[in-house]
Structure 1
Amino acid sequence: MNSLKPLALACATSIATAFSIPVAAHADEAAPATVVITGSRFPSAESLEPIGATVITRDEIRQAGVNDVNQAIRKIGGVFGRQSLDSSPDFALDLRGFGTNSAQNMVIMVDGVRLNENELSNSVLSTIPIDTVERIEIVRGGSSVLYGEGATGGVIQIVTRKDARHAQPGTHGSVFAEAGQFRERDLRAQLAHVAGPISADVAVARQDNANYRANNAFTQNSVSAGLQLAYTGGRAGVRVESARQDARLPGSLTLAQFEADPRQTRTPKDFGSLDTDRVNAFAEYRLGAVDLAAELSHRERDAESNYYFGPSASVMKYKGRQNQFSPRARWLHDIGAGMLNELVTGIDVIDWKRKTTSSFSLADASQKSKAFYVRDELRFDPAHDGRVALGARREIFDKDYVDAIMGGTPDNGAQAQNAWEAQGSYRVLPQLTLSARGGQSYRVANVDENSFRTSLSLLKVQTSHDLELGASWGDDARKVTARAFRHKLDNEIFYDPTAFANTNLDPTRREGIEIDAEAQLAPAWRATAHLQHVNATFTSGPNAGREMVLVPKNVLTARLAWLPGNGQSADVGAQWVDRQRYGSDFDNSCAARMPSYVTFDARYAVRLGPWELAASGLNLADRRYFSNAFGCRSGIYPSDGRQLKLSARYDF
């Protein structure tokens, strides 16, 4: 456990986030006739959603009774998540089996603003007011053309309700209160006012949870306020957000300690905090057949961790900021004969800086990036819904790093990378659509990886050649979608426990299948399921043929919803996670593997006028399990036990 503390320290203290939450609509607002998708970074009709996308609607979020965005992505979207190390509800999400570096191989966006930081950290989603979320879009597979570095595993977009022209006029809001086991308390309130073209809103929340383990308490206070103006041809707005987190850090256990008592802690004094402040401005305007849009965002965060080694504490402090400017344009052109062409182009400019203060580091780090992208999609043969798209991106990075304690020697350099993609789909039969996509995606080493590496020069850019073949059969009542995928990676950036440093690995590969299924079993019953099967292996070098660590071969998520239409609703879910190799088992020499597990959750709610009362439970079978373990039978972070909760919501 102690040998793993530096790794756990880096993961737990490099927490960073950014998000932009525009105006919230009334909770009881009628659902629009169509769902708007943003696959091209511009709104599109539901029929033009990204090929192979999973869309979680606000109705599904409400029915499942999830309290935060991270939980919605895992429970409804079927994305595998690992228990957080810092007591927060922000599990480490993993698309397509990238293990401990899953956060660096996936891009998360909120209303066009990138949440990813240039460090080893997971995006903090728990501060996003769940009641403001319109939908969540999950696009699995390489997406670097539109979203830049780190999008090899895919992209998750959180879209909030922000078009005041479709909101009910007047003042609306809601109050939510929940209490549960482990002294869980969740209080949320939101208020929105719409007066003609002007709208404003505010949302506040407080979360308290002692959590399952000792020294595991978590507290979070957040506030979000926005102002928006709708005008002829577009709209503009600004949002300011602030969040404060305090967390106790329970640390890891050995397998023997876990089996004796998974709720214990071996680090009873460790704790940390995270303060974030964010402001985002956006504007949209339609000029003839051309849509113009831009986001300008700024965020700051202060992170601090205190780790006790005997009577004294080791204190780490990070101060960071990031600015992003993302202007873009789209030209929609009706070619004739039922053909429609969409040309999207844009620029992403990001400036990131961080200052570290600790007994062993006084590092100043910065990264600037500039990117230009273009993507063209042609929709042809409306009778068969034919689509073909091509895109390319060029991104340049400028990195600087200097640590006064290490002698003040600067470490800097520039790196550049290209991405491309080609994809298409065609409905060959009335209920059968085939699709294919290929391309190149990439990611660059972040400041934490470059500051603790095996080579003298900066780590090489990781590249992935991506291929996917898909088929979809069915209609709105019953539908099955299957995708076979392969990612061939060169210079994958990873922490090598045999070298005790970050390095570029020998060639690796992720390949497998994904299956999404949904069915209306009866007027009041609907079932959904998602299966991911992935093989993650080395393809050459001394580890050729060996499996990558912390990657379950199979993850199956299934849900059953009951909506009789009389004010009652029920939702039951299950998730099975297959065995996986321990985090240090690069050479596959550990005789044991992390055990597989199944968890169940459920919720029942009844609507009484403006009130909604609900009872819910997580891990209903009270399964003892773990999803995070960094050593062979050690470095284990136990997952939560059974938790039962009661909640009340009032809409006005």
Structure 2
Amino acid sequence: MQHSHALAAIALAAVTFASPAAADTAVLDHVLVTATRRAISADQALPPVVVIGREEIERSNAIDVAELLRYHAGIEIARNGGPGQVTSAFIRGANSNHTLVLIDGVKVNPGTAGGAALQNITPELVERVEIVKGPRSSLYGSEAIGGVINIITRRGAAGRELGAHVQAGRYGLRGAGARVSAQGERMAAGISATTLRTDGFPTYRDSDEDRGFANDAVNAWLRADAGALRLEASHWQAEGNTEYADFFRAPQDQDFENRLTRLQAAWQGRDWRSQLTLARVIDHIDQGELAFDPDDFVRTERDLVDWQNDLDLVRGLELTAGLSLSREETSGQSFGAPLEEAPGAGKADRDENAAYLQAGFELGTHRFVAAGRHTDHDTFGGVNTWNLEWGTALGAAWSATAGIGRGFRAPGTSDLYAFGGNPELQPEISRSVDFGLKYRPHRDHELALALFHTEIDDLIEYFDPDGFLGELPGRNENIGDARIKGAEFGWRARHGDWTVDTQLVLQRPEDRRTGAQLLRRAERIATAQLTRGLGEHELGLQMLASGERRDFGDVRLAGYVLVNLTAKLQLAERWALRARLENLLDQDYELVDGYNTAGRGIYASLAYSY
């Protein structure tokens, strides 16, 4: 833990060079849509937000989105081994299934168990990632308790664009990709494709057989403008194979397929914008030839209709109202047995219909946003969620925000029908309060403090009063309660050719009944990202320090420090070489008890763009 304290101090001290001298462009202003479902500047958002832009994505040389997220404190990652293995994201200490993941604004979390497959999302196909911390069930429904991660897929620039890349690195990593797009006055289209292979490394620390990963991904889009009407069709998918080891260390593998097909029509009037979205989401996992039972599978297929209306009929009052209709079918088979007691011999159909309303208005220097949503769910009936937020300027450089909110998570099919399933489960409910203070003496220098407190009731836990061999079988019950309280400190700045982004989180995620620390979440996390421009070239440093964590069986996972070096070398006008030296200190650490993590290695990509 001494290493974590040291790095936290270094990270906070590293930004002292940043002075409020003017810069050519602001690095703190990003446009995002996730916080309010409307396009706003990031500095106008009342809840805490993080935007990972295209430059940071390219700088990272990451092979999946999870690697992008982990260098922002307050977003913790757990991974069951190497590339492609099951990956979880915890935001502000909440459970991993309390993180809602969207792609282009559409939910991609599976309806069975666990979170979205972040390990299968290729950064090369991503334009930016928007993260909103805190509850957002008032706008997006289930899972949005800890926060929302919205992954915006890549579109082309104006005119014609052509690009390609190859990459290589440790553990037999090799990959390639290409993209092309064209935009005219009324029409635009583009397609990107990537392929990635890695031999990986042993899943468990006490194994010696490498487990590989293969992922082929594509993103295609077509857009047409006809006066005030814009039509867009898009399709993203990733498919491949993940090798892993089971509990007995036997080699296994599984095939995966993730797909999102989206049709959208938007009409822009003078004071009214209406947007209709139709989407289909597919999440399939099928056990491969090496599996104990190759017929085992788990599937989610979801159809969504969302109609959003943005109204600016009264000056100073912004209204957003909408309807969301979702129909989801889940199915699965484990060790040859279908999901227990599920209707339709292992299949479960669930409808979730909702109406939402948000109002934003200003009174002098004060801004208020209120949002509410009523969700009608097949399993448990209705649930109401809401957010109330306030922000104000405190002079020229200071500003303050405060918010309260209620979120929920609907029980998944595995909670309801798998081993220990209970069809009478109710949703998990959260209540959150947060307060923020920012000091921004000029557009390229910001110091921020945020305090948060979240309580989650009716957590679903397995309860077996008579023990495994007792007369009465155990089952899932709404008996858990959690409390998370903490503080976040951040400093972002740009001065000349230097940019810096440092964050420190001090939190207490605990079981409210026992006081025990929640699993796989640290009480102290610090991150720092430092870059130095050298003309057309660039050098960078990434640092992450995490404190001790607790895992199943009351195992204690030691704290760790990761340091990465990054570099960009502009070889010619259209050619760039990017490299990352990962885990510079060759830190031996665990994210999950007994599972391996990557050691020191070099990863590089050569990219062409026109």
TM-score between the two structures when normalised by the length of structure 1: 0.81
Residues 196 and 443 of structure 1, relative CA distance in 2, 3 Å threshold: same
Cα RMSD (Å)? 2.6
In the alignment, is the contact (CA less than 8 A) between 2:218 and 2:236 conserved in 1?
yes
- Asked whether the 8 Å contact 1:70–1:89 carries over to 2, the reply is no
Q: 1:126 to 1:509 in 2, by over 3 A?
A: closer
Provide the residue aligned with 2:482 in structure 1.
508
Q: Give how far 1:621 is off.
A: 1.5
Q: Is the alpha carbon distance of 1:300 and 1:478 closer, same or farther for their aligned partners in structure 2, counting shifts above 3 Å?
A: closer
- TM-superposed CA distance for 1:640, in Å, is 1.5
The Cα shift of 1:497 comes to 9.3
Unaligned ranges ≥5, structure 1: 1-29, 253-265, 400-413, 586-591, 630-635
Q: CA deviation at 1:501?
A: 5.3
1:35-86 CA distances to partner (integer Å, 9 max, x unpaired)?
A: 3221221222445334321222222323333343332222357621111457
**Please, which of 39, 53, 58 is the counterpart of residue 54 of structure 2?**
58
Decide whether the 8 Å contact of 1:581 with 1:593 is kept in 2.
yes
Alpha carbons 1:307, 1:315 under 8 Å: kept: no
**Could you tell me how far apart the structure 2 residues matched to 1:153 and 1:503 are?**
21
Tell me, yes or no, if structure 1 residue 243 matches structure 2 residue 216.
no
- 1:42-441 equivalences under 5 Å are 42-76=38-72, 79-84=75-80, 87-88=83-84, 91-98=87-94, 101-102=95-96, 104-125=97-118, 128=121, 130-162=123-155, 167-169=157-159, 171-213=160-202, 214-251=209-246, 267-305=249-287, 313=293, 315-333=295-313, 335=315, 340-358=316-334, 359-361=336-338, 363-381=346-364, 384=365, 386-399=366-379, 414-441=380-407
Q: Structure 1 residues 96, 502: closer, same or farther in 2, change over 3 A?
A: farther
TM-superposed CA distance for 1:305, in Å, is 2.2
Match of 2:436 in 1: 470
* Residue 331 of structure 1, CA deviation: 0.9
Is the contact between residue 392 and residue 401 of structure 2 (CA under 8 Å) also seen in structure 1? Answer: yes
The worse-fitting range, judged by mean Cα deviation, of 451-460 and 355-364 is 451-460
Change (3 A) 1:136 1:377: same
The correspondence for 2:574, drawn from 593, 606, 610, is: 610
CA distance in 2, matches of 1:610, 1:107: 37
**Contact 2:74–2:91 (Cα < 8 Å) also in 1:** no
**How far apart, CA to CA, are the structure 2 residues paired with 1:626 and 1:271?**
22
Tell me how far 1:492 sits from its aligned partner.
1.5
> In the alignment, which of 572, 578, 585 is matched to residue 621 of structure 1?
585
Match of 1:581 in 2: 550
Amino acid at match of 1:288: R
1:440-519 equivalences in 2 (<5 Å): 440-452=406-418, 457-474=423-440, 475-494=442-461, 502-519=476-493
Provide the rounded CA distance (Å) in 1 between the counterparts of 2:125 and 2:604. Answer: 21
DSSP-derived class of the 2:245 partner: coil
* Counterpart contact for 2:90–2:521, Cα < 8 Å: no
On the 8 A contact 1:324/1:348 being kept in 2, the answer is yes
CA–CA distance in 2 between the matches of 1:307 and 1:537? 41
Inter-partner Cα distance in structure 1 for 2:377 and 2:415: 15
Give aligned-pair identity as a percent.
19
Secondary structure of residue in 1 paired with 2:117: coil
- Between the aligned partners of 2:229 and 2:378, the Cα distance in structure 1 is 35
Pick closer, same or farther for the CA change 1:534–1:210 going to 2, 3 Å: same
Letter in 1 for 2:383: Q
Q: Give unmatched runs, 5+ long, in structure 2.
A: 1-24, 203-208, 339-344, 468-473
CA contact (8 A) 1:219 1:247 kept: yes
What secondary structure is seen at the aligned counterpart in 2 of 1:505?
Answer: strand
SS of 1:492 mapped into structure 2: strand
Q: Is the 8 A contact 1:332 1:341 kept in 2?
A: yes
CA contact (8 A) 1:579 1:594 kept: yes
Output the CA distance in 1 between the equivalents of 2:509 and 2:30. Answer: 35
Provide Cα deviations, 1:318-342, integer angstroms capped at 9, x if missing partner. 243110111110112453xxxx211
Amino acid aligned to 1:515:
F
Distance (Å, rounded) in 1 between the aligned partners of 2:85 and 2:420 = 33
**Structure 2 residue 561 is matched with structure 1 residue 598:** yes
Amino acid at match of 1:300: I
SS of the residue aligned with 1:61?
helix
Asked if structure 2 preserves the Cα contact closer than 8 Å seen for 1:280 and 1:296, the reply is yes
CA distance in 2, matches of 1:85, 1:449: 25
Structure-2 change in CA distance of 1:582 and 1:302 (3 Å) = closer
Change (3 A) 1:519 1:45: closer
CA distance in 2, matches of 1:248, 1:561: 36
Could you tell me whether the CA contact under 8 Å between 2:46 and 2:391 is conserved in 1?
Answer: no
**What TM-score results when the alignment is normalised by the length of structure 2?**
0.86
CA contact (8 A) 2:28 2:443 kept: no
Shift of 1:132: 4.7
- Cα distance, 1:32 vs. partner? 12
How many residue pairs get aligned? The number is 563
- Provide closer, same or farther for how the CA distance between residues 331 and 84 of structure 1 changes in structure 2, counting only shifts above 3 A: farther
Q: What is the DSSP-based 3-state SS (H/G/I as helix, E as strand, rest coil) of the residue aligned with 1:142?
A: coil
Query: What is the CA-CA distance between 1:146 and the residue it aligns to?
Result: 0.6
